[in-house]
């Protein structure tokens, strides 16, 4: 196999973009030389070109890694998108329907989940050339917003999507007229990136090389690791903590990591509580590519216990209410991190990069609110 190291234990995940193509067409064209495998493990282990149709997420396939799909017409034209399986969970779990109205992707660049949302809208309403529902995609980092714009254009979802270039989601007024029909929000904020394949996060703190600064007070400098095989970097993790005065501390120890996780989880919770305030919102997904409970179950629990959640009737989206593939996904949240609440833990969806499923470490939970009426003071 061409790929080496940790990445050799993973397939290349490919999402067929329902806006521009469909699975059958791609199996007959881009993947015509691939042999159908019976499992992800077969794709990983067997020599030659193999393909496995994912049983959980629609329009997703695992193919032999080391295959350079970036040279294909399908990739160049946005018919296929190289996106890890776990990264497909949030949009699929949110499952936006026509009655959900407009959508927000709060932390959108590079756009994997924005384009996935647009594809789901299209699948639900194939009769529309352009979905009548708007996706507001905010991205605080202007440079990353350019990448988002490019990805949205290539994927063919430009007409549905309004990009907030350099827009901080926390500065977006939930009461603004234009967001009054926003019924569902996808929240995929900056995180430690500890679930990303190819990164040893702990215990040795072999963190990625430092290059440019991201948001103050939460994450510090970003990694400029070269993109591999055309997959857009979902996150730019860092090993620098920047405090509110702009002072930088390089993380060298577990104590530094704890400090950073505390800062990140405070930021993640603030974003989630802000999402709770949108008057017509009925569904939210919260996700990270982190395996740390501080950024995951603990944020979920703090959000559920918040005054705003109680005022506005937000609760966890229970496993039984989730879309089929997510209900069937076996890896769930940590009960101990949910204060012993087994229902909340079971509602949380996790993945671990070393569990043989061939996916990155990830976390996602859904929140639901009964009724579309504005129940709280906001």
In the complex, the smallest distance separating the C-beta of residue 45 from ligand SAM, rounded to whole angstroms, is 29
Residue closer to ligand SAM by CB (options 176, 370) is 176
- Cβ proximity to ligand SAM: between 35 and 70 the closer is 70
Dmax over CA atoms of the chain, in Å, equals: 60
Report the sign of the C-alpha dihedral through residues 81, 333, 302, 193, in that order.
negative
Can you tell me which residue has the tokens 């993380």? 251
- The closest alpha carbon to 122, from 149, 155, 154, belongs to 155
Nearer to ligand SAM, 145 or 345 (CB): 145
Quote the radius of gyration of the chain (alpha carbons, Å).
Answer: 20
Q: How far is the CB of 216 from ligand SAM (least distance, A)?
A: 10
Tell me the C-alpha distance between 349 and 329, whole Å.
8
At its nearest, how many Å lie between ligand SAM and the CB of residue 19? 16
- What is the rounded distance in angstroms from the CA atom of residue 57 to the CA atom of residue 84? 11
Q: Two tokens at 285?
A: 């997904």
From 191, 238, 289, 338, the catalytic residue:
289
User: 37 or 109: whose CB is closer to ligand SAM?
Assistant: 109
Instruction: Name which of 63 and 108 has its Cβ closer to ligand SAM.
Output: 108
Q: CB 160 → ligand SAM: shortest distance, Å?
A: 16
**Pick from 162, 270, 293: nearest CA to 218:** 270
Q: Cα(249)–Cα(345) distance, rounded to whole angstroms?
A: 34
CB of 106 to ligand SAM, least distance (A): 6
Centre a 10 Å sphere on the Cβ of residue 253 and count the other Cβ atoms it contains. 9
CA–CA gap between residue 207 and residue 252 (Å, rounded): 9
Tell me whether residue 191 is one of the annotated catalytic residues. Answer: no
- Interaction site with ligand SAM (CB under 6 A): 87, 106-113, 138-141, 144, 168-170, 188-190, 214-215, 234-235
Q: Residue number with the shortest CB distance to ligand SAM?
A: 107
Residues known to be catalytic? 289
């Amino acid at each position: 196999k061409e790929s080496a190291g940790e990445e050799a234990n993973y397939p290349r995940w490919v999402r067929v973009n329902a806006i521009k193509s469909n699975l059958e067409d791609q199996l007959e064209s881009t993947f015509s030389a691939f042999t159908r495998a019976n499992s992800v493990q077969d794709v990983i282990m067997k020599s030659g070109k193999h393909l496995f149709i994912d049983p959980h997420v629609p329009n997703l396939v695992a193919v032999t890694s080391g295959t350079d799909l970036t040279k294909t017409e399908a990739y160049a034209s946005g018919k296929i998108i190289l996106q890890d399986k776990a990264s497909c969970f949030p949009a699929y779990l949110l499952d936006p329907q026509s009655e959900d109205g407009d959508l927000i992707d709060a932390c959108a660049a590079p756009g994997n989940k924005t384009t996935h949302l647009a594809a789901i809208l299209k699948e639900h309403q194939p009769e529309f050339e352009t979905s009548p529902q708007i996706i507001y995609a905010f991205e605080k980092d202007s440079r990353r917003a350019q990448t988002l714009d490019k990805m949205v254009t290539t994927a063919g979802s430009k007409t549905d999507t309004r990009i907030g270039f350099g827009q901080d989601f926390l500065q977006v007024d939930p009461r603004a007229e234009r967001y009054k029909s926003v019924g569902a929000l996808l929240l995929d904020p900056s995180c430690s990136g500890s679930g990303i394949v190819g990164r040893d996060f702990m215990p040795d703190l072999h963190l990625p090389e430092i290059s440019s600064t991201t948001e103050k007070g939460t994450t510090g400098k970003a990694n400029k690791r070269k993109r591999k095989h055309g997959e857009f970097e979902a996150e730019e993790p860092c090993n620098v903590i920047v405090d509110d005065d702009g002072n930088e501390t390089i993380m060298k120890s577990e104590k530094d990591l704890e400090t950073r996780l505390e800062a990140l989880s405070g930021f993640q919770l603030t974003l989630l509580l802000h999402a709770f305030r949108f008057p017509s919102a009925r569904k939210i997904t919260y996700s990270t590519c982190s395996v740390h409970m501080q950024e995951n179950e603990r944020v979920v629990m703090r959000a559920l216990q918040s005054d705003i959640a109680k005022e506005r009737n937000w609760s966890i989206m229970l496993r039984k209410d989730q879309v089929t593939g997510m209900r069937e996904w076996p890896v769930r949240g940590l009960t101990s991190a949910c204060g012993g609440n087994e229902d909340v833990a079971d509602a949380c969806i996790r993945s671990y990069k070393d569990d043989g499923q061939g996916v990155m470490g990830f976390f996602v939970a859904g929140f639901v609110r009964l009724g579309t009426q504005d129940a709280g003071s906001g």
